[in-house]
Structure 1
Amino acid sequence: MLMKWAQPLLRQKLKRRAKAEALYGQFVEERFGHYAHASPGEWVWVHAVSLGETRTAGILLKGLREQCPGMKLLLTHGTATGREEGQKLLQPGDVQVWQPWDSQDAVTRFFKAFQPRLGLILETEVWPNWVRCAQQFKVPLVLVNARMSDKSMRQALRWPSLMKPAYAGLQAVLAQTQGDATRLEVLGANVKCITGNLKFDATPDAAQVAKGQAWRSRIAMPVIMLASSREGEERLWLAAWQSFVKANPGVQIQWLLVPRHPQRVHEVVQLIEQAGFLLSRRSSWGEEEAASPPSHAAGSTIFMGDSLGEMALYYSLADVALLGGSYEPLGGQNLIEAAACGCPVVMGPHTFNFAEASEAALAEGAAF
């Protein structure tokens, strides 16, 4: 009953988000288990909630398709960036829909509509009704590339009667690290093995790397990137940069700012302009072969990375990156792509979502 009453609130939230990202306003009924075109069958259901998980899903799907030619993919997401990125992974016959909201009715309709033979959930998305319905419909549910921070474990343990059966009901869990495995087992999960992080198997886009390096060669000053910045961090950075400029008026640095969430780009642009800085956005540089940042603006203008799926380009353009999500208590962001592109990272104190990768990068001198 509570979930039924909450539906209008969720619809209003989606309506608000659609003002910034139109995709949130499309196929809304899928979130409640209603599908325009659905057929039960031998679907392999892969759930990748957002952009990072979807990119990891691409690595997983490459191996699955090699092992299971002709596999029927049912791909679900929770965010617009995830769904947009997921479109690149689809082959003829595959289906992509929004994840069902975790209510008994919506999830039951999802399982009845598709009747998947297997469910593979990326990293963290364990929902009680998903697990309950998977058991009811006899669908094995596996948590892949699983991670669990101390903070997330403590939060789950606040609701033991709800979350422990959910984790215990998973058919198997494939954990990234021993630490993740230990924390997942505290919640009752059946950890089968430790696989490492699938993101380590990703290869940066060679064309993006080459383009980023070519752009870098045209800029005659250090390029520093604020990578995947989160809410609150841009204000901290702007205040620090304003103080630095006043104290060091002759120092020239080219800043590159890439917000983590596309829906925040407008907000961040306003912050930068209110602080008195000029701005040049990636979306204005063009897509043709000769496109590049405006050379006359270097140093006097902050570059804004407002495109999707070009982190390899940005990391290859930068000499060093400040890791977003780590300067506020948000757990940090994935630094593996930065390392793969040869870009050293400076981290803040909050890296609990990627603790092992952060420690390894520090030990190897790839992060500071």
Structure 2
Amino acid sequence: MARQAYSWVLRLGTPAYLAKLWQRGGREPLYRHAIGERFGLHLPPVAPGALWLHAVSLGETRAAAALIDALRAQRPGLRLLLTHGTATGREAGQALLREGDHQLWLPFDTPGAVHRFLRHARPCLGVLMETEIWPNLLHAAAARRLPMVLANARLSEKSARQGQRLSLLMRPAADALNLVLAQTEADAQRLRTAGAADVRVCGNLKYDLQPDEAQLTRGRAWRAGLSRPVVAAVNTREGEEEALLTRWAAWAPPRPQLLLVPRHPQRFDAVAELVRHQGLSVSRRSQWGQASPVEAAGEADVWLGDSLGEMALYYGLSDVALLGGSFAPLGGHNLIESAACGCPIILGPSTFNFAQAAEGALAAGAAWRAHDWDDALAQVRQLLAAPKRLHEAAERATAFASAHRGAATRMASAIVALLPPTAHPRG
């Protein structure tokens, strides 16, 4: 049977999984914290009957914040069990906890680990965010009659094709979901084809995330004190920074100010070295403290956004942004946050992770599409020479983000309808 074969592959791969965790822990120590939890071992006390929500990484955890707020509004006193897979997700999740809530690592998807986790936690309902379909976890939940929801669900065409090749494994997992709350109708159709039974379109939670007003105000104040425009490259991935920096170094002065914000914090030092390798000077946000860039960074060619949780600050500081993950075949990252902050954005050719949002932003005049880095920088030059056009695009971006809010309330209502009248443990 496919699931049994899958389970044996995971068991045999456990040493490699442990080695990877330990290696990543060298750069991010949180990966070495409570490793036993990854296998359902040495779990701290958890009060039964909580709503369990899994947000694997930073992006999913940020989106979950809007859903959690809506759930608490509709069910006051709701207790949460948050699980994560990455250090950035767990760190961000700590800010969402209230008294009586708990936080753990999601167990490795082996039968023993998920059984121990569910037996110990005994949640009243499970919510998985976006794409987290784990065959053994969902099989074990179904065996315990634990309702499972896939919230803010998305499935790209590429992932759907991969799922079809593994349909003997993935179809039973999708079928075990009691409810799927999809971002778009296209996602919903692909998820139904993958085997999910009850699929409803609710929109994208990321539209409901409100920018940090204090950060946005500070960023805009900093921008007002600058004598040259700021171009941000946000959520950049390995390979993208080098390609961009090569072209940036060839841009004859006077250049705009480049603000570079890598996606993964473990790469901050490596990206700083890439900047220096191109003969450019760099100033890191982590060294500024409360000072403005003018005071702290001086005439540095590149500002490195090496902090977490300050995207609103970076967007407020910028005239236009370039979307990382979209100039490599990676599907792009969250472009909705830039729109909510009123920062127009240039997208690369690869945006399949946010396909509908990308097309909507383009149609609304809040974003532009570039074929590659050369095309993107050519567009940057044109936009910076037309400040009225940039200002109008910023207004369209804000309007675009506002028009698509409401997913959190819709998803929370659907989830609350599955909750028992009072939380109770599952044996």
Give the TM-score category using the shorter length: over 0.9
Instruction: Give the number of aligned pairs.
Output: 361
Confirm whether residue 319 of structure 1 aligns to residue 315 of structure 2: no
| Mapped pair 1:85 → 2:88 | no
In the TM superposition, 1:129-168 aligns within 5 A as 129-168=136-175
SS in 2 for 1:148: coil
Contact 2:261 2:306 (C-alpha < 8 Å) held by counterparts: yes
Q: Quote the offset at 1:92 in angstroms.
A: 0.8
Structure 1 segments of 4 or more deviating over 3 A?
294-300
| Deviations, residues 229-286 of structure 1 (Å, cap 9, x unaligned) | 0111001101211222xxxx34331000000011111111111111111110110001
For the residue of structure 2 that corresponds to 1:174, the secondary structure is: strand
Q: Deviations over 1:81-115 (max 9, x none)?
A: 00000000000111100011111110011110011
AA in 1 matched with 2:335: L
Question: Out of 112, 122, 125, which is 1:118 matched to?
Answer: 125
| Deviations 1:13-58 (CA, angstroms, capped at 9, x unpaired) | 0111011111001011100111342345111000000111101111
Any stretches of 5+ residues in structure 1 without a counterpart?
A: none
Identity value in percent:
52
Counterpart in the other structure of 2:36: 29
Q: Determine the structure 1 residue equivalent to 2:293.
A: 293
Q: Secondary structure at the match of 1:41?
A: coil
Residues 92, 166 of structure 1: CA spacing in aligned structure 2 closer, same or farther, 3 A cutoff?
Answer: same
Please tell me whether residue 335 in structure 1 is matched to residue 335 in structure 2: yes
Q: Is the 8 A contact 1:219 1:298 kept in 2?
A: no
The aligned counterpart of 1:254 is: 257
**Counterpart residue number, 2:306:** 306
* 2:271 is the counterpart of 1:268: yes
* Aligned residue number for residue 175 of structure 1: 182
Provide closer, same or farther for how the CA distance between residues 16 and 296 of structure 1 changes in structure 2, counting only shifts above 3 A. Answer: closer
Choose 3-12 or 257-266, whichever is displaced more: 3-12
AA of the residue aligned to 1:349: P
Structure 2 length normalisation: TM-score?
0.83
What whole-Å deviation, never above 9, does each CA across 1:276-312 have from its counterpart, x for those lacking one?
111101100014xxx2114484554200101000000
CA separation in 1, counterparts of 2:31 and 2:280?
32
Which of 55, 60, 83 is the aligned partner of 2:62? 55
Q: 2:10 corresponds to which residue?
A: 3
How far did residue 9 of structure 1 move? 1.0
Q: Which has the higher contact order (CA 8 A, sep 6+)?
A: 2
Gaps in structure 2 of 5+ consecutive residues? 1-7, 369-427
Corresponding residue for 2:280?
Answer: 277
Partners of 1:265 and 1:156 in 2: CA distance: 34
The amino acid of 2:347's aligned partner reads M
- Does the aligned pair in 2 maintain the 1:326–1:349 contact within 8 Å? yes
Indicate the structure with greater helix content: 2
| d(CA) in 2 for partners of 1:233, 1:352 | 17
TM-score, length of structure 1 as denominator length: 0.96
State the Cα distance separating 1:329 from its structure 2 match.
0.2
Q: Which amino acid aligns with 1:340?
A: A
Deviations 1:59-89 (A, max 9, x none): 0111111111221210000010000000000
